[in-house]
Each structure stands twice: as structure tokens, then as C-alpha cells.
Amino acid sequence: MKKRFFPVALVASLLAFCGVQTSRAQTPEQVFRAAGTPHNPKVSVSWNRYYDYAGITQICQQLAKAHPDLVKLETIGDSYEGRRLWVLTVSDFKTGDPLRKPAMYIDGNIHSNEIQGAEFALYTVWYLAENFQDNRFIKELLQQKTFYIIPTINPDARDNFMHKPNNAHSPRSGMMPLDDDGDGLVDEDQPDDLNKDGHITFMRRKSPNGRYILDPQNPLRLIPAKPDQPGTYELLGYEGLDNDGDGKVNEDPIGYYDPNRDWGWNWQPDYIQRGAFKYPFSLPENRAVKDFVLRHPNIAGAQSYHNNGGMILRGPGAEEDQNTYNRDDNQVYDLLGKYAEQVIPGYTYMVVYRDLYSAFGGELDWFHGARGIFTFTNELMSPYLQFDRKTASGQEREAEQYDFNKMLLFNDAFVEWEPFDHPTYGMVEIGGFKKNYPRAHPGFLLEEDAHRNMAFTVYQTYQLPQLEIREVQTRKLSNGLTEVTATIANNRIIPTHSSQDLKYKIERPDYVSLKDQSIVAGLVMENADLNLGKEQKQNPSRLEIPNIPGMGYVKVRWIVLANKPDLTIEVDSRKGGVVTQKF
């Protein structure tokens, strides 16, 4: 009798359907816990790969279901093509309203080809939730603070990049075809996937007039011939066809807008800066993020994940915006940036306009300039990660990419050159790096870099304002009056109001209230030792404090018509949280 074989996955599915439990490869009892890693996570996720929109949605749903007291999933709107924009609120819901705690905002994947930001953001949710029970630091952090995390704010372009032919540098938006050559047609001459492998690579052909030769160290690579050396190859650009019959190839590619030029701070139109769309916040995804941030004034810190280059960026994006960052704010940024360089090897703390170029209408500048939020943009995947060393740019860095692909990826990131009979160019060869390299992390580097970047955002969240009421003193005065003096301290480096916030009065002042009903005067003390203070004549029971500085304090004083006043004090700060204490 002929034996019949069934796929293992099918057998496992049938057994599960019938109620039969299949064995796991390892049980928790068989695993020796590695430091800093969840031992037995409720949600198992492989962090050495990338997930499309459906995969991200499933992980979000699983985390919210497995940790209902820590993770809440909701949508903030829909993308251009109708995909839900997911946001995960991560906090210990049992210790108070997340909206009343200082908050950290994180997003990723604003650009189509900058995919790993979504995994880095999701890893943060997973790590916080899965470590809450066993890690005292994480538990205390979520008791005191809130995270708002949007894994991808450009899900349409993400799925386009993953599921359709693209290269590592494909248009950032992933849609919006344009007529770049003015012939009245769009997309008629854009790169074509000639060998149908899902990657847009390069075309080359042998030619005695070419200016390239094969690299003797790596025949997959072309290098420029020396001036006195004959070339053997010419590069023809990305693989593609002359679809409109004008004798040109790939001259009318898909146009794009840049979602990171759409934000309403120092916005410039397309003819000044390439990539801007119709007007600020003309993109539905960015509008949804903007509206969410406006509804959550407790956001005091932010991180947006991009790629690549290994950079820890902060504003200003343009030289004209230097006045939005003063000495006090710069000091906070510098302290955080120095920490980031320590925990993320190979990454460099930089200022956009000073160290790169001027950029207008960026998310980074809107968060800081319009909302007064301390914000970083990390450009993920540093070349340093390839061989744990810094290299010069240009030819040396390109050579390292080929060496890394050969020595550690075993050429898995490269489409081997193969012949193709091109209708315009004749016999050519098609090949080159796949779309998942070198901007995207190889799998074995993905989790480590996700963890290091996550650690930086956790540290930034830890340094959000942490308020404490201390040194409450009373002194008897004449005529039945009592003087009450309190010190309100901020035990972290980030103030309750950035200098930009204070300059434009973006957020309301902090409130410090004494609950006694017989208050006759209230003062914000300028120098308590010299008894110098500024009286607040209206509503003296709730004093308005412009700012509680990082690693600093303010003193307040009330005069109360009572021998034994009610010493219940409340501090209510939008970005510093709410603290109530009875003395």
C-alpha cells in the first residue's frame, strides 16, 4: 500500500481543531532566562523579521488582549487608502488615568522604505508589557508615566513597499503618481520589475565604452575604472522599459510627496522644498497624529523612528528656527543625546540644520516648535553595526556593504546578476541589492538595535517631570492667621514647560492648590529666606506656576485664617502629572 504524507503544519492545525494539544519546541521550564529579556511572554513575537500592516495589527490586538491593565488599543483615524491608524496606550491603568500622567509619544515608518521604525515601536510596547510583573523599574515607570505608541503612521506606503516591486530607496510616500516629464501621462515610464522577483535592482551591460570594471575583491560589485584604465561595463540605472516609446527608459517615474515635509511648522511649498504637498497637514495620516497630540497635552517627550545612518537627531530643522531652542532647552537635549550615544553604539547625536541640511515642515520641528515637546528623530541602522567600526563615507562604506552581505549574510541580500534581452538596450544583466538591504536591518541585528533604541526612549520617559511635594512648614501669625509654605520639587531633568512652551504660552501654567477653605492670600515665592514673593490676588487657593524646572523646585505660600488649616496640597501639571498629599 502506498504511504501518504501530510504537511506538518496541516497536521498540527487539524490536531488543534480537534482539541489535541501539540507540544512546543521549548517550555518555560526548559529555558534558562537571559538577563533583560521576558522569560515567558504572553505574546510571542519574533523580532528578527518585519511585519506588514495585517501582521502589525494582529500583534497590537494580541498585546491589548493579553495585557488589558497595561495596554489599550484604539484608532486615531484612517489612512489615505482606508487603513486604520493604530495607537497603543501603555501605562498601569490601576494607578490612575493615563491622561493625568506625564507621557512619551513614539511613532515610526513615516516613510515607505523606513520600515523598521514600526518594529522598534512595537518592540517597546511588547517589552514594557511583558516585563511589568518581574521588573521593578518598568513597574514603577508605568505606574508614574504613560506611553502613546503608533507603530506606523504611513501604513499604505508600508504595504506598498513590502508587497510590490521596489528598491531600498523607493519613493517615500509609495503613491501619488506625477507627470515628471510634462507629456500629459503619469507612470508610463517608471522602473519595471523585469525578472519578477519583487525587487527593483540595476541594469548593466558590457561595453568597451563603459567606465566601470568588476571589483577584483568582489565580482558582484562594479567600481569606477581609473582614468588611464579602459572600462568594461556601463551602468544603465534601475531595471525598466521604454513603456511610452519615446526612446527613453525610466525618465517618468512615480512622483512622491514627503510626509515629513507636511507639518505645520515653517512649512514651505514644493517649489522651495521638494516633497511638500498642498498645504500643511494636507495628508490625512499627519492630520490624525496632529489631532491626537492636541488631545493629549500630557505629552512631554517624543520620538520618531526613521532610517538610516545611525543618527540621533534633534531640531532645529532649519537655521531660521534657532530661536525656538534656547540654552535651557539645549541643555536638556544635550544630556539626553549624550545618554543615547552611550546606549546605542555607532549612533551620533546631531542637530539637523547644522550637521545635515535645512528641512522645513518636519514632524520634529512641529512637535517642539508648536507644542513645546522635547523630541528626537533617530535614523536607524548605523553602518557601524556591520563590523562594529566607523568607516568613511563613499567607496569605503559601499565596499563594506558588499563585504557584510558576503561574510555575514552569505549573499542573501543580493540578486545575482543574470542576463536579460532588453528591447531597448539589447543584452543586459540585471542584479543588485534587494529592497530589504542596506537601509533595513538584517534579522540578527534587528532585535538588538530595537532594544537599544527602546532603552533610550525609556530613559527619556524616566526623565519626564516627576513632581514631589515636600518641606511643608507652618508658622503661627497674629489674629488667628497661619502661614503655610510648601516646596514643590521636580526630580527629573525635563521641566514641566520647555522654553518654547513658556515663550508662546502653549500650555496652561501648573496649578498648586491648598484645599483649606479660609485662605486669605497666596504667594509664589521668589526668595523665601528674604520673604520675597509675588502675590496672586485672584483665586489665591490655586496658585499658577509658570514652570517647575528640571532638577529644581518652586516655593509657594498661603496665609490662612485658621489655627489648624487643612494641609491637603495638590499639584496639577499638564506635562508633570497630578500629585496630592495631606500633611
Distance between CA atoms of residues 97 and 578, nearest Å: 10
In-domain check, residue 173? no
Co-location of 211 and 281 in the same domain: no
Average pLDDT over residues 553-574: 97
Q: Is the pLDDT of residue 17 over 50?
A: no
In this structure, the answer to whether residues 491 and 414 fall within a common structural domain is no
Kindly state the average pLDDT of the residues 350-371. 96
pLDDT at 186: 54
pLDDT for the residue 20: 43
Give the helix/strand (H/E) hosting 240.
none
Q: Identify each DSSP E strand in 192-344 by its residue range.
A: 202-206, 212-215, 218-224, 233-238, 299-307, 311-314
Mean pLDDT rounded to a whole number for the chain: 92
- Give the whole-angstrom CA distance, residue 549 versus residue 546: 10
Task: Report the pLDDT value the prediction gives residue 184, as an integer from 0 to 100.
Answer: 59
pLDDT at position 253 over 70? no
Q: Quick one: which of 354, 377, 332 has its CA closest to 501?
A: 332
3-state helix, strand, coil in the chain (%, to 5): 25, 25, 45
Evaluate the CA torsion angle 164, 219, 213, 385 in order and state its sign.
Answer: positive
273 shares a domain with 377: yes
The reported pLDDT for the residue numbered 395 is 84
Q: What is the CATH number of the domain that holds 471?
A: 2.60.40.10
CATH of the domain at 447: 3.40.630.10
What was the pLDDT predicted at 170?
83
Mean pLDDT for the stretch of residues 388-393: 81
Whether 25 has a pLDDT exceeding 70, the answer reads: no
Q: Are residues 371 and 268 in the same domain?
A: yes
Residues 90, 125 contacting (CB under 8 angstroms):
yes
Q: How confident is the model at residue 182 (pLDDT cuts 50, 70, 90)?
A: low
The reported pLDDT for the residue numbered 214 is 95
pLDDT at 284: 95
270 and 155: one domain?
Answer: yes
Residue 551 structural domain:
467-582
564 and 512: one domain?
A: yes
Do the domain assignments include residue 323?
no
Nearest to 124 by CA among 450, 425, 513: 450
128 shares a domain with 63: yes
Same domain, 78 and 137: yes
Q: How far apart are CA 179 and CA 525, in angstroms?
A: 64
Whether residue 325 lies inside any domain: the answer is no
Task: Find the helix packing angle between 53-66 and 116-131, rounded to 10°.
Answer: 10
Structural domain count, the chain: 3
% of the chain with per-residue pLDDT over 90: 82
Give the ranges where 18-115 is alpha helix by DSSP (H).
Answer: 53-66
341 is catalytic: no
Mean pLDDT of 465-473: 96
pLDDT tens-digit map of 145-163? 999 999 999 999 999 999 9
The answer to whether residues 262 and 354 belong to one domain is yes
Pull the grid cell for residue 433: 541589492
Same domain, 244 and 150: no
Rounded to an integer, what is the distance from CA 294 to the centroid of its chain?
18
26 lies in some domain: no
Residue whose C-alpha cell reads 526612446 in the numeric block: 247
User: pLDDT tens, 86-130?
Assistant: 999 999 999 999 999 999 999 999 999 999 999 999 999 999 999
pLDDT at 244: 79
Write phi, then psi, for 533 (nearest 5 degrees).
Answer: -155, 160
Query: Which amino acid does the sequence have at 453?
Result: N
| Catalytic residue of the set 119, 285, 379, 429 | 379
pLDDT (mean) for 210-234: 93
CB atoms within 10 A of CB 327: 7
CA distance 363 to 371: 11
**CA torsion, ordered 569, 575, 576, 581, to nearest 10 deg:** 30
- Over residues 194-218, the pLDDT tens digits come to 999 999 999 999 999 999 999 999 9
Judged against a pLDDT cut of 80, whether residue 382 lies above it is answered with: yes
Q: Residue 61: its pLDDT value, please?
A: 98
Please state the pTM of the whole predicted model: 0.93
pLDDT band for position 277 (cuts 50, 70, 90): confident
Helix spans in 93-167 (H):
116-131, 136-144, 155-163
Note whether 65 and 142 are same-domain residues: yes
**Amino acid (one-letter) located at 288:** A
351 in any annotated domain:
yes
Q: What is the pLDDT of residue 247?
A: 84
Domain membership flag for residue 44: no
pLDDT tens sequence across 359-368: 999 999 999 9
Q: Mind spelling out the 3-state secondary structure of 388-450?
A: CCCCCCCHHHHHHHHHHHHHCCCCCCEEEEEEEEECCCEEEEEEEECCCCCCCCCHHHHHHHH
Please state the rounded mean pLDDT for residues 314-337.
Answer: 95
Residue 399, C-alpha cell as written in the block: 565596499
Percent of the chain with pLDDT over 70: 92
In a domain? residue 5 = no
Q: For residues 288 and 398, state if they share a domain.
A: no
Establish if 20 belongs to a structural domain: no
Q: For the chain, give me the number of helices (H) and strands (E)? A: 14, 23
Residue 84 has pLDDT above 90, yes or no: yes
List, for residues 48-57, the tens digit of each pLDDT value.
Answer: 999 999 999 9
- Across the range 423-430, mean pLDDT stands at 96
